[in-house]
């Protein structure tokens, strides 16, 4: 059994939901996993006491949250001293169009460049559109963004694009990496999901 920390930055809750599903996969394999919102990190959950760490972050207006950047910059040595991985949650990952996928990949490139952290594993997941939870201005803006991104502009309902099989297989792959301790298996910084 190993201990695994999942630190996430989530504004509307989808990255939190994905983190909880990943924890369920780890727990199901007999590990001791914990998901913590980056704003709730304490010295006890800063990462040093865990055998492996995953960081999850959602995209808003083309950017990862500032506190996720800060967490990674401040804890890069801790991350790199144990098996580590990163997953990104965005609307663009929900669209198979090549140009839109390139946009999602560019968010990751920018994050890696900005933090100088090269995760052992990287994944991109589709997020959600929660019109029912947005204020008036955000709903208006998201309707316009969604028109190009997914075409889902019916603001009377919510949309979830996360492929849960992809999430579970990423979690299983990461768990296997931690169990074998062989971070080089499958490539140094391999992107396991499209």
Footprint on this chain of ligand FMN (rule: CB under 6 A) = 10-15, 58-62, 89-92, 127-129, 138, 142
Residue keyed to tokens 């999602």: 104
- Minimum distance from CB of 17 to ligand FMN (Å)? 8
Tell me whether residue 58 or residue 192 sits nearer to ligand FMN (CB atom): 58
- Minimum distance from CB of 79 to ligand FMN (Å)? 20
For residues 89 and 58, the answer to whether their CB atoms sit within 8 Å is: yes
- 98-115 vs 66-74: helix crossing angle, rounded to 10: 50
- Minimum distance from CB of 188 to ligand FMN (Å)? 26
Determine the distance from the C-alpha atom of residue 175 to the mean position of all C-alpha atoms in its chain, rounded to a whole number.
16
- Residues sharing a CB contact under 8 Å with residue 188, sequence separation 6 or more, in sequence order: 118, 120
Q: Which tokens in the block code for residue 159?
A: 């949309």
Tell me whether residue 43 or residue 135 sits nearer to ligand FMN (CB atom): 135
Tell me whether residue 14 or residue 115 sits nearer to ligand FMN (CB atom): 14
- Minimum distance from CB of 15 to ligand FMN (Å)? 3
Which of these, 40, 49, 52, 65, lies nearest to 6 by C-alpha position?
52
Tell me whether residue 142 or residue 177 sits nearer to ligand FMN (CB atom): 142
């Amino acid at each position: 059994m190993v201990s695994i920390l999942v630190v996430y930055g989530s504004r509307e809750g989808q990255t939190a939901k994905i983190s909880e599903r990943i924890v369920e996969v780890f727990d199901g394999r007999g590990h001791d996993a914990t998901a913590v919102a980056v704003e709730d990190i304490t010295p006890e959950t800063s990462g040093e006491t865990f055998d492996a760490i995953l960081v999850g972050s959602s995209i808003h207006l083309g950017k990862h949250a500032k506190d996720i950047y800060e967490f990674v910059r401040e804890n890069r040595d801790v991350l790199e001293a144990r098996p580590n991985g990163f997953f990104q949650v965005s609307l663009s990952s929900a669209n198979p169009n090549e140009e839109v996928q390139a946009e999602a990949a560019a968010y990751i490139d920018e994050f890696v460049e900005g933090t100088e952290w090269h995760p052992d594993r990287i994944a991109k997941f589709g997020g959600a559109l929660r019109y029912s939870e947005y204020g008036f201005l955000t709903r208006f803006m998201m309707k316009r963004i969604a028109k190009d991104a997914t075409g889902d502009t019916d603001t009377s309902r919510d949309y979830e694009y996360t492929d849960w099989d992809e999430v579970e297989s990423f979690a299983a792959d990461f768990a296997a990496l931690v169990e074998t301790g062989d971070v080089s298996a499958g490539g140094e910084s391999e992107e396991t999901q499209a």
